[in-house]
Amino acid sequence: MHITEHIHDGVWILKVSGRLNFYSRKTFQAVMRNAERGSTDHVIIDLSQVDFVDSVGIGLLALSQARLALQGMVMSLVGPRPAVKKILDVANIPKLIPVYKTEAEAIGLPVSA
């Protein structure tokens, strides 16, 4: 797994690529700890380059959302591929964490047609 991070309009955006699973958990947890200490109130996790999520990955997303919520922060997911979206749906993640098609939607920017 590889994660790049940047801030756009006060939103911390994490672009994840590869697999979000047991083997990548430490990398993901370290990045999320940084996000928790950040000076933003919204963290977007871009999943458009993630090709697999296992049960540990689902747990990491849910735990991260809960930890951010305790600090008054919001977490959103963006652009999961169809196979990943299906896994998220089966795990009911969209009921816990909003899932958007694009970063612009997640940030609340006007989306051109």
Domain containing 26: what range?
2-102
What's the pLDDT score for residue 113?
45
Instruction: Examine residue 52 and state whether it is found in any structural domain, yes or no.
Output: yes
* Alpha helices for the chain (secondary structure H): 25-36, 55-70, 82-90, 93-96, 103-107
**pLDDT score recorded for residue 110:** 56
List the CATH number of the domain containing 24.
Answer: 3.30.750.24
Is 108 a domain residue?
A: no
Phi/psi at 31 (nearest 5 deg)? Answer: -65, -40
Q: What residues of the chain score a pLDDT lower than 70? A: 109-113
User: What is the DSSP-derived secondary structure letter of residue 91?
Assistant: T
43 falls within a domain: yes
End-to-end alpha-carbon separation of the chain, Å?
33
Instruction: Count structural domains, the chain.
Output: 1
DSSP codes of every residue in 55-72: HHHHHHHHHHHHHHHHTT
